[in-house]
Amino acid sequence: NAGVTQTPKFQVLKTGQSMTLQCAQDMNHNSMYWYRQDPGMGLRLIYYSASEGTTDKGEVPNGYNVSRLNKREFSLRLESAAPSQTSVYFCATEQGAFYSNQPQHFGDGTRLSIL
Amino acid sequence: AQKVTQAQTEISVVEKEDVTLDCVYETRDTTYYLFWYKQPPSGELVFLIRRNSFDEQNEISGRYSWNFQKSTSSFNFTITASQVVDSAVYFCALSEAGSSNTGKLIFGQGTTLQVKP
């Protein structure tokens, strides 16, 4: 029972390169989220998907795109990586039932460095 | 606007000391949820507690306890008789229920707790 799986775990990119971070869940949750974690700033929401077929911007969406491929998968794409996007990225899921706000379940994170 | 403030950036204690981590939040919603997560040195995020805005009862779980006070918009976390394994970054987070109810979390900056032997 994997829960929330993120790939890759580590990645080094050069400025201007593109890449996609993958997230898959086997919890049958409706809602999925992408956060970034930077020192001293906690976790900040990049994009989220409240249900299959919908995506919305979070607090820091610039430079990113997302795709909710199906109920299980939610990917985050950096089209042209910048050093400011060096961070640890976390994918999370939540049950998504109305007025529920259950605890979110997090993947192990992707540590991304952009040179 | 929603906001969570953890004013203590780093706390260092000696094993067996009690320690309280502070969390102050701001929200306009009347229905909301508060959470604490632990991030040990291995990096994963571990859920500790969820509280809704209508339940102000304090909660105790083993050495952990939480004090929720709506009057001061605070949700503080106390570890009694701290242990080295408690060393981690602790995050307080807010989720508004509201009409949109997207479940998204607003995190505080985190408090790094170091427990020395």
B99 has a pLDDT exceeding 60: no
pLDDT bin (cut points 50, 70, 90) of residue B57 is confident
Please, what is the Cα angle at A17 between A106 and B107, to 5 degrees? 30
A52 has a pLDDT exceeding 90: no
B1 has a pLDDT exceeding 90: no
Q: Which residue has the higher pLDDT, A51 or A35?
A: A35
Give the number of other CB atoms < 10 A from CB of residue A38.
14
Nearest Cβ partner for A99 among B50, B97, B104? B97
B6 has a pLDDT exceeding 90: yes
B116: closest CA of chain A, how far (Å): 22
* Model pLDDT for residues B86-97, shown as the tens digit of each residue: 999 999 999 988
A1 has a pLDDT exceeding 70: no
* Model pLDDT for residues A80-101, shown as the tens digit of each residue: 999 999 999 999 999 876 667 8
The answer to whether the Cβ–Cβ distance between A103 and B47 falls below 8 Å is yes
Q: Does A70 touch chain B (CB under 8 A)?
A: no
Positive or negative CA dihedral for A97, A98, A103, A105?
positive
A31 has a pLDDT exceeding 60: yes
* Neighbour-count burial of A41, counting CB atoms closer than 10 A to its CB (0-12 exposed, 13-18 middle, 19+ buried): middle
| CA distance linking residue A14 with residue A27, whole number of Å | 34
A53: closest CA of chain B, how far (Å): 14
Chain B, window 11-70: residues with a beta carbon less than 8 angstroms from a chain A beta carbon: 31-33, 35, 43-45, 47, 50, 52
* Model pLDDT for residues B11-28, shown as the tens digit of each residue: 999 999 999 999 999 999
Q: Does B112 touch chain A (CB under 8 A)?
A: no
Tell me the mean pLDDT in the region B23-52. Answer: 94
According to DSSP, the β-strands at A31-37 and A87-94 are antiparallel
B117: closest CA of chain A, how far (Å): 26
